[in-house]
């Protein structure tokens, strides 16, 4: 800070004195607890402060102050104890500690002041108010005018002909009339009134029974405090008279407490607070570090600098612990703390939600944007706001064949629009609809206008299930960034909680609002029409409401992340998956239509032959595909033994039942199992897959869901490419139809035993850890441990049993389940489990710990901190309860493995690009990634992919066991796997 002497103040100067300390409290309580940096640092008050300061520096004349300052200083309280505590030890004694997330902001605001090259003033032993009083007196003496930026009533005593106050939050000027209105006396008598009335907030005692009204009346009558006290005996009202006499000294002490000191020793002469030139670099570095995108842009414009070239400042923040890189592992006690209690983050989030709920939601009030001028206005608004909720309306749920019909935007709760672009006449001809409706901006023109906004780094785009819109917009040449996804926010925070993460459910849960249903707009089933056929006003209500709801959900959900320490999970495991999966879906995979068609024919023939045989053997024709008819035949008419009932009381005809019958020597069930397999393969795969081949790309594009499992796994649908057969020879023929493009190979890389490795890590099982480290056969090792047999020359049946137990452990083993799986008695299965736990006591400890946690918290966590909620685990139904307990045992294992492959996927594209390799990730099947690789790059790609997958946990975590990835390339998926 400058210490050389500056020209002293002169008449006509205008001094702005900003009451920094009171501003931060007011900003904190007035602004919603929404604003946080991506690392969770709360910066809402800082943001408010910076905007205010910037406005004062740039356009103070447009505020209620009406002038531009020549001098400006921000004044802070230095310490809690001041000379007033020596006068009265109770002064401000009952003031509560500042809220936890406000504390780190005190220091940052001082940084902000310096970043804007403004004088920051504080003085040990004195309150900000005294320094302000001193500066104000000095300025007035020099003939200058003063504006005090504060609304603190304690400063109103300073108001006079040359001193006003400015409440920037209300943009309200406080001069003599306003002071008179508040205290009933002129500013120079305010101290007398306060001395009598006291102040419960600052613990100024005053005189009992006298408030501001009475005090003003008394002062107006007697002139000033001393006169009043000396003539107190004249007061008519008994109690008031007695109190004024008895508490006269207390009133005098109060006067000394409230009267501001105009003679504070100040180290920095006011002249040094002359407005200085903005240091663009310094300001931008600070603002970038704070992630205040809008203000960064404004300052960059004003300073004529490119914000992109400025490095964010490195701010060491005291009193704030950023969330850990990896959240505590499942066995940590730290996760016990309930986020739902007291005035913690959960309460703040709830307060936030209540606030947003209170803003009316009226679907008929949205704007339908029909011309370029209005579209530009909305785009400008989004740039100003710095964030915008975006939603697209299209002709199909499949983003790869959907056509864009319109776009909706929202920049504030209740403020949303819909931009129709592709609506057509509902009375279309048979060739696919009528012409475009009038009054719509041409698609290309709208896209050209929207692209800069949707790709601008300074504007956050908010969507519900962005992956869909991302693909739609990418096909139109727009790559949306940066972005947030409300569905993923909800999934990160509440995976497994009732209702799911769909927009309608979230709107109900958080906003108490039922959005217009898609079916109510477009109809459903056979009579459904595509969105382009919907009349504009109806379309606008529906579409704009979605954007409005999305924006509100974002405001409710985003601020929960840091308080629930889920920022890292969201930022590393969820958010970055959106473009990764979008690109995978867009690439699709090539399937050989002819091969499938041929296979379908073969399967049909085989099934027909079996059908004839079955009918022959049964002695009647019946529908083999009807479990009901089949059950009646086998256990009714044929009277076979060993029938089991399903939970609804029908005969079970599942494979296990049919195999039991086959083992008894009945030939019919064998044929039925074969028939089932063939028809299943045909209907589910060979016949269904070709229907999913995209007309334009000639490839199959699955859709991955990021938010539909409780554990963190993805799911795949339309078509589901995560359940393509592999176990049987007939099934593998279907895999052979998944082929690489000409000149390429399919590369399959899969984690070996990843869930068992994760379990070995989490439960810290020495034998398992060692076995994995040594690269042993883990099932054989298990068998050796529990059945006490050597690994060498092991009976394959013994190994099979151990393998089943290992899987059972992952699933939260029960004797019942294991017995079923191995076809042994429950007693025998129970013995196996008992032995297993004796050999691996850590496994039992792990299981018990997960059960304890799920009962205590309602959720369990993966090694990367992902939560899986089981809200109903405390049910009284013992079967349900045990079911949830098993799920809670399984979730950290399955979920941690899912986290690991997510990390690999997020990193994969950059890793390949860095090595100049052009392999493209196409599919994910839980522990396997499938790539399409040019022939000549196969050899270089295999080790790189494998290493990236194996190293995926680091640097966040280092597992106790190595991960192993097997990778292979071939012309088709079957041979690569």
Partner DNA sequence: CCTGCCCCATA
Partner DNA sequence: GTATGGGGCAGGA
Instruction: Tell me the closest approach of the beta carbon of residue 525 to DNA, in angstroms.
Output: 2
Q: Is 926 in the site for DNA (CB under 7 A)?
A: yes
The region of 73-81, 339-347, 405-413, 624-632 touching DNA under the rule CB under 7 A is: 624-632
**Residue (155 or 805) nearer to DNA, CB:** 805
How many whole angstroms separate alpha carbon 508 and alpha carbon 858? Answer: 22
**Residue (389 or 734) nearer to DNA, CB:** 734
Query: Are the beta carbons of 166 and 63 closer than 8 angstroms?
Result: yes
Instruction: Tell me the closest approach of the beta carbon of residue 811 to DNA, in angstroms.
Output: 3
Query: Are the beta carbons of 911 and 944 closer than 8 angstroms?
Result: yes
* Rounded to 5°, angle at Cα 854 from 852 and 858: 140
Instruction: Tell me the closest approach of the beta carbon of residue 865 to DNA, in angstroms.
Output: 18
The region of 8-16, 49-57, 563-571, 627-635 touching DNA under the rule CB under 7 A is: 627-635
Binding positions for DNA, 879-898, rule CB under 7 A: 883, 886-887, 890-891, 894
How many whole angstroms separate alpha carbon 730 and alpha carbon 727? Answer: 9
Instruction: Tell me the closest approach of the beta carbon of residue 528 to DNA, in angstroms.
Output: 8
Site residue total, DNA (CB under 7 A): 73
Strands 14-19 and 71-75, how do they pair? parallel
| CA–centroid distance for 425 within its chain | 40
Q: What is the DSSP string of 638-657?
A: S--S---B-TTSPBP--HHH
**Residue (455 or 975) nearer to DNA, CB:** 975
| 539: nearest Cα among 439, 466, 430, 435 | 439
Q: Exactly one of 631, 669, 858, 865 binds DNA (CB under 7 A); which one?
A: 631
Q: Exactly one of 58, 203, 331, 708 binds DNA (CB under 7 A); which one?
A: 708
**Residue (203 or 652) nearer to DNA, CB:** 652
**β-strand partners of 930:** 748, 923
Q: Is 733 in the site for DNA (CB under 7 A)?
A: no
Binding positions for DNA, 38-77, rule CB under 7 A: none
**Residue (99 or 625) nearer to DNA, CB:** 625
**Residue (298 or 676) nearer to DNA, CB:** 676
| CA–centroid distance for 111 within its chain | 28
For tokens 């032959």, the residue is: 609
Q: Tell me the CA distances in angstroms from 573 to 330, 576, 580, one per residue in order.
A: 17, 7, 11
Binding positions for DNA, 87-126, rule CB under 7 A: none
Nearest-Å Rg of the Cα atoms of the chain is 36
Q: Tell me the CA distances in angstroms from 955 to 485, 712, 908, 950, one per residue in order.
A: 26, 20, 15, 12
Provide the 10 A C-beta neighbour count for residue 376: 12
Instruction: Tell me the closest approach of the beta carbon of residue 318 to DNA, in angstroms.
Output: 43
To the nearest 10°, report the CA torsion of 473, 476, 482, 487. Answer: 10
**Residue (419 or 603) nearer to DNA, CB:** 603
**Residue (75 or 634) nearer to DNA, CB:** 634
**Residue (586 or 824) nearer to DNA, CB:** 824
| 218: nearest Cα among 237, 199, 246 | 237
Q: Exactly one of 69, 198, 280, 812 binds DNA (CB under 7 A); which one?
A: 812
The region of 120-128, 189-197, 444-452, 712-720 touching DNA under the rule CB under 7 A is: 712-720
The region of 67-75, 188-196, 394-402, 809-817 touching DNA under the rule CB under 7 A is: 809-817
Q: What is the DSSP string of 360-405?
A: ---GGG-EE--SHHHHHHHHHHHHHHSEEEEEEEES-SSTTT--EE
Binding positions for DNA, 818-877, rule CB under 7 A: 818, 820-821
Instruction: Tell me the closest approach of the beta carbon of residue 784 to DNA, in angstroms.
Output: 18
Q: Is 729 in the site for DNA (CB under 7 A)?
A: no
Strands 859-861 and 867-869, how do they pair? antiparallel
How many whole angstroms separate alpha carbon 36 and alpha carbon 352? Answer: 14
Structure tokens at 165: 């106050």
Query: What is the b/e burial string over 744-779, where b = at least 16 CB atoms within 10 angstroms of the residue's CB?
Result: bbbbbbbbebbbbbbbbbbbebebbbebbeeeeebb
Q: What is the DSSP string of 304-337?
A: T--GGGSPPP--PPTT--PPPSSPPPTT-GGGGS
Q: Exactly one of 205, 413, 808, 858 binds DNA (CB under 7 A); which one?
A: 808
Binding positions for DNA, 640-699, rule CB under 7 A: 646-648, 650-655, 658, 673, 676-677, 679-681, 683-684, 687-688
Instruction: Tell me the closest approach of the beta carbon of residue 633 to DNA, in angstroms.
Output: 11
**Residue (708 or 964) nearer to DNA, CB:** 708
Q: Exactly one of 41, 131, 462, 925 binds DNA (CB under 7 A); which one?
A: 925
**Residue (467 or 676) nearer to DNA, CB:** 676
**Residue (886 or 920) nearer to DNA, CB:** 886
Instruction: Tell me the closest approach of the beta carbon of residue 585 to DNA, in angstroms.
Output: 13
Q: Exactly one of 13, 145, 928, 937 binds DNA (CB under 7 A); which one?
A: 928
**Residue (96 or 827) nearer to DNA, CB:** 827
């Amino acid at each position: 800070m400058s210490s050389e002497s500056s020209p002293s103040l002169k008449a006509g100067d205008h001094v702005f004195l900003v009451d920094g300390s009171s501003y931060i409290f007011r900003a904190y309580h007035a602004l919603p607890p929404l604003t946080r940096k991506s690392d969770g640092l709360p910066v809402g008050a800082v943001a408010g402060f910076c905007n205010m300061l910037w406005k004062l520096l740039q356009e103070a004349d447009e505020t209620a102050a009406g002038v531009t300052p020549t001098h400006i200083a921000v004044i802070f309280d230095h310490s809690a104890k001041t000379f007033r505590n020596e006068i009265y030890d109770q002064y401000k004694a009952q003031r509560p500690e500042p809220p936890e997330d406000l504390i780190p902001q005190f220091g940052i605001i001082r940084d902000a002041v310096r970043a804007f090259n403004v004088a920051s003033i504080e003085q040990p032993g004195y309150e900000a108010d005294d320094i302000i009083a001193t500066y104000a007196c000095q300025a007035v003496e020099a003939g200058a005018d003063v504006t005090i930026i504060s609304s603190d009533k304690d400063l109103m005593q300073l108001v006079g002909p040359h001193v006003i106050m400015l409440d920037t939050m209300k943009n309200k000027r406080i001069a003599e009339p306003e002071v008179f209105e508040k205290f009933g006396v002129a500013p120079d008598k305010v101290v007398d009134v306060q001395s009598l009335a006291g102040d419960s907030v600052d613990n100024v005692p005053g005189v009992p029974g006298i408030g501001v009204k009475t005090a003003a009346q008394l002062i107006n009558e007697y002139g000033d405090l001393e006169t009043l006290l000396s003539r107190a005996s004249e007061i008519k009202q008994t109690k008031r008279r007695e109190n004024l006499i008895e508490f006269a000294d207390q009133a005098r002490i109060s006067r000394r407490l409230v009267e501001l000191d105009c003679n504070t020793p100040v180290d920095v002469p006011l002249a040094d607070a002359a407005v200085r030139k903005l240091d663009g670099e310094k300001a931008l570095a600070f603002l970038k570090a704070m992630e205040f995108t809008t203000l960064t842009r404004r300052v960059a414009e004003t300073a004529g600098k490119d914000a992109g070239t400025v490095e964010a400042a490195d701010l060491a923040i005291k009193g704030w612990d950023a969330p850990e890189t990896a959240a505590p592992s499942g066995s940590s006690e730290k996760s016990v703390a309930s986020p739902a209690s007291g005035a913690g983050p959960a309460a703040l989030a709830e307060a936030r939600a209540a606030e947003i709920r209170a803003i009316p939601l009226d679907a008929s009030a949205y704007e339908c944007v029909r011309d370029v001028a209005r579209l530009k206005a909305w785009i400008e608004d989004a740039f100003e706001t710095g964030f915008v909720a975006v939603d697209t309306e299209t002709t199909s749920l499949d983003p790869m064949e959907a056509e864009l019909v319109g776009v909706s935007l929202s920049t504030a709760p209740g403020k949303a629009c819909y931009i129709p672009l592709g609506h057509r006449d509902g009375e279309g001809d048979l060739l696919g609809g009528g012409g475009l409706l009038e009054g719509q901006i041409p698609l290309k023109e709208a896209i050209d206008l929207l692209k800069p906004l949707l790709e601008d780094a300074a504007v956050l785009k908010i969507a519900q299930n962005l992956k869909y819109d991302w693909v739609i917009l990418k096909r139109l040449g727009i790559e949306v960034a940066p972005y947030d996804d409300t569905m993923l926010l909800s999934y990160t925070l509440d995976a497994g909680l009732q209702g799911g993460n769909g927009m309608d459910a979230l709107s109900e849960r958080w906003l108490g609002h039922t959005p217009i249903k898609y079916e109510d707009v477009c109809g459903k089933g056979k009579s459904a029409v595509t969105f382009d056929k919907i009349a504009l006003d109806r379309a606008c209500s529906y579409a704009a409401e979605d954007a409005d709801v999305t924006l509100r959900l974002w405001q409710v959900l985003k601020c929960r992340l840091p308080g629930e320490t889920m920022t890292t999970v969201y930022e590393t495991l969820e958010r970055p998956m959106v473009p990764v999966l979008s690109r995978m879906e867009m690439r699709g995979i090539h399937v050989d239509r002819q091969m499938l068609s041929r296979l379908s024919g073969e399967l049909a023939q085989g099934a027909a032959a079996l059908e004839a045989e079955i009918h022959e053997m049964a002695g009647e024709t019946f529908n083999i595909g009807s479990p009901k008819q089949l059950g009646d035949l086998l256990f009714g008419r044929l009277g076979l033994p060993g029938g089991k009932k399903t939970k609804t009381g029908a005969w079970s005809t599942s494979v296990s039942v049919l195999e039991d019958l086959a083992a008894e020597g009945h030939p019919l069930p064998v044929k039925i199992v074969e028939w089932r397999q063939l028809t299943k393969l045909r209907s589910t795969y060979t016949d269904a897959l070709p229907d999913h081949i995209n007309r334009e790309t000639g490839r199959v594009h699955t859709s991955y869901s990021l938010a539909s499992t409780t554990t963190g796994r993805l799911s795949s649908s339309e078509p589901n490419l995560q359940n393509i057969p592999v176990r049987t020879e007939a099934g593998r023929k279907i895999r052979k139809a998944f082929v690489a493009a000409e000149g390429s190979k399919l590369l399959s890389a899969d984690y070996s035993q990843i869930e068992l490795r994760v379990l070995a890590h989490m439960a810290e099982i020495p034998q398992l850890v060692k076995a994995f480290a040594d690269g042993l056969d883990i099932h054989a090792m298990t068998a050796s441990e529990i059945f006490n047999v050597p690994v060498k020359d092991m009976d394959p049946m013994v190994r099979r049993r151990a393998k089943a137990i290992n899987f059972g452990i992952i699933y939260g083993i029960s004797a019942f389940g294991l017995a079923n799986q191995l076809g042994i008695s429950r007693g025998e299965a129970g013995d196996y489990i008992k032995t297993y736990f004796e050999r691996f006591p850590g496994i039992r400890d792990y299981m018990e710990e997960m059960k304890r946690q799920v009962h205590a918290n309602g959720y369990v966590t993966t090694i990367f901190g992902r939560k899986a909620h089981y809200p109903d685990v405390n049910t009284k139904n013992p079967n349900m309860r045990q079911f949830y307990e098993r799920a809670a045992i399984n979730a950290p294992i399955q979920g941690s493995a899912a986290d690991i492959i997510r990390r690999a996927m997020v990193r994969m594209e950059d890793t390949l690009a860095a090595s100049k390799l052009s392999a493209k990730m196409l599919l994910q099947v839980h522990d396997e990634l499938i790539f399409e690789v040019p022939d000549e790059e196969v050899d270089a790609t295999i080790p790189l992919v494998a290493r990236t997958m194996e190293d995926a946990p680091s640097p966040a975590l280092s597992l106790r066991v190595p991960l192993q990835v097997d990778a292979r390339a071939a012309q088709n998926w079957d041979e690569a796997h």
